[in-house]
Each structure stands twice: as C-alpha cells, then as structure tokens.
Amino acid sequence: MPLDQHSTNVGRPRHERDTARMRRAAEAVRVGPKPAMAAALAQIGAAFDEAAAINAFKIKVERLMRLEPDHPALRARFGARADAVRPGLDAAVVVVERWWRDERKAFQIASAFGCATRLSLEILCELRLILRLMRFKRMEAEYDSGLAALCNVPIAMPAE
C-alpha cells in the first residue's frame, strides 16, 4: 500500500478503517466475467479473515478501556484478578503474561479432551492487551487509580 493511502487511515476510528479495508478488497476484484459476485465474495472474505478477527478484538478492548474503572462490567470481568496485580504496571504485565501462558496451555490440554472453555483465556487476552497498551502509553497513574477503583481501595493522595 502506498504511503499516502496508509496515512489517511491514521486518525480514523478502527471500525471505519475495518470497513474501508473490506470495501478496498471488493473494489480490487471488480474486473472479470462476474464482477458483482467476485466483489461480494472478496468483501465477505475480508469481513471474516484473521485481520477482521483481530480488529474486532481490539475494538472490544477499546470499548472496555472507555468505561469507568468502577463500571459493573469491568468489575465482573477483571475484579477477581485485580488483587493479584497490585504491585505496579510493569509487574502486572509480567504476572498477566504468565497467567495467559499457563491458561493457554491448560486450554490446549482441555481441548484435547473435548471439555475446554475459552472465557478465562479471552479475559486474560483482554487484560493482557489493556496492560500492555497502558505500559506503552506510560499510563502508570491511570493504572493505579483504575486498580484502586476496581478493588474499592482508597487512593493515597499526597498532602498539599
């Protein structure tokens, strides 16, 4: 993709970029004996390929990050694990990464026996991405305040 086309996607929301990607896939195949069918198949393929699944996951995580830390959905999803990731953002990333690897191995074993559930693995994937994004954006203060709100712990404010 040329650089000028890529730069137009930078400021747009992820769901708009995903829709534009599907339209570009359909437009790329509009030549041939049955252009409408080829375009429809290309658009369906782009809507359900691996990139679309990754974008859907990222959109889901972005929606979770827009919620307030004391929102009931966040409490239900991450509240049970919040106490174990108290030490700090960098340590939390390491702990959640270890949990995710262990859970992935357990899921593979359970899948071999036909009794696997993905819920805990999905929650850890979301938490892993949230923490890694917060670390990348240097959001240590937001992490501490969000964790305190999630765990119902008062934040120690400096005296002025």
Mean of per-residue pLDDT scores for the chain: 82
Reported confidence tier of residue 4, pLDDT bands at 50, 70, 90:
very low
Reported confidence tier of residue 146, pLDDT bands at 50, 70, 90:
confident
pLDDT for 7: 41
Reported confidence tier of residue 5, pLDDT bands at 50, 70, 90:
very low
Does residue 63 lie within any of the structural domains?
no
Question: Does 139 lie in the same domain as 91?
Answer: yes
- Of 81, 87, 83, the closest CA to residue 100 belongs to 81
Domain with 46, as residue range(s), is 3-50
Sequence letter at residue 39: A
160 versus 98: which is more confidently predicted? 98
Sequence letter at residue 115: C
Question: Does 119 lie in the same domain as 45?
Answer: no
- Is the pLDDT at 110 greater than 90, yes or no? yes
Sequence letter at residue 101: R
Could you tell me which residues come within 8 angstroms of residue 88 by beta carbon, excluding any fewer than 6 positions away? 140, 143
82 versus 121: which is more confidently predicted? 121
pLDDT for 151: 79
pLDDT for 154: 52
Residue 92: both structure tokens together: 């939390």
Question: Does 147 lie in the same domain as 95?
Answer: yes
Does residue 59 lie within any of the structural domains?
no
Q: How far is CA 94 from CA 35, 62, 89, 99, in A?
A: 50, 21, 9, 9
Question: Does 121 lie in the same domain as 80?
Answer: yes
- Is the pLDDT at 35 greater than 90, yes or no? no
What percent of the chain is modeled with pLDDT above 90? 31
- Is the pLDDT at 93 greater than 90, yes or no? yes
d(CA 96, CA 141): 19
Tell me which residue has tokens 């203060």. Answer: 141
- Is the pLDDT at 155 greater than 60, yes or no? no
Question: Does 127 lie in the same domain as 78?
Answer: yes
pLDDT for 1: 34
Judge if pTM exceeds 0.75. no
